[in-house]
Amino acid sequence: MTIATGLLQELEQEAVTTRRVLDRVPDGRMSWKPHEKSHSLGQLAMHIAQVPGGVAEFVARPSPVEVPKFPDPPQAQSKAELLRTLDESVAKAKEILTSMDDATSSGTLRLVEDKREIMVLPRAAFLRSIMLNHWYHHRGQLSVYLRLLGEPVPSIYGPSADENPFA
C-alpha cells in the first residue's frame, strides 16, 4: 500500500461523514453567525466543502510554493451547492492522490513568503495536517453551529445527542 492509498482511504471514509454533517446545514440560515468575529454558517460550510480538493491541488504544485493569501471563504447559497462542491472537491483530491507515488508523497514541500521559508515538511504530512486534520477541526466547529441553531447533529465518530448509529 502506498502512502497516498492510506490517505485516500481515510479521505473516502471521512467524506461520507462530512457529507452527513453538511446535509444538516439549513437553507435560509447561511448568513447566520454565532459571534461577530466568526465566519457565517455558509462561509464555514463552504470552506469545509472546498478543503480536500483545494489542499490536494496546492500540495501537487512544484516546490517551493508561495504561501497563498487566504481570503474569506465564499458564502454558500444553498445546501445543494455545498453538497455539489464537496463532491467535486473530494473527486479532485482523489484524482490528485491517486497519481502520487511514495516518492512524491514523501517529497519535501517548501512554503515560502516573499522568498522567506515559512514551512518545510513532507507532502504527506501536509496532506495529513491540513487536508484531513484541518478539515475535521472545521467540521467540529460546524457541528457546534448546528447545535446552536437547534438543528440535529449527526453521528460523527459515535452517538450524538440526536443520533445513535449503534441503537
Within a domain: 47? yes
Task: For residues 43-61, give the mean pLDDT.
Answer: 96
User: At 41, is the pLDDT very low, low, confident or very high (cuts 50, 70, 90)?
Assistant: very high
**Which helix (H) or strand (E) segment is 12 a member of?**
helix 3-22
Q: For the chain, how many structural domains are there in total?
A: 1
Task: Give me the domain span that covers residue 72.
Answer: 3-148
Residue 41 is assigned to a structural domain of this protein: yes
- CA of residue 131 relative to chain centroid, distance: 6
72 assigned to some structural domain = yes
Q: Is residue 165 part of a domain?
A: no
Helix-, strand-, coil-residue percentages of the chain, each rounded to 5: 55, 10, 40
Cα radius of gyration rounded to whole Å, the chain: 17
**Residue 160, domain member (yes or no):** no
Residue 11 has pLDDT above 90, yes or no: yes
pLDDT score at 33: 98
34 occurs within a structural domain: yes
Q: What is the CATH number of the domain that holds 56?
A: 1.20.120.450
Q: pTM score, two decimals?
A: 0.95
Q: Report yes or no on 162 lying in a domain.
A: no
Q: Tell me, yes or no, whether 156 lies in a domain.
A: no
pLDDT above 90 for 156: yes
The order of strands in the sheet holding 65-66 is 65-66, 108-113, 116-122
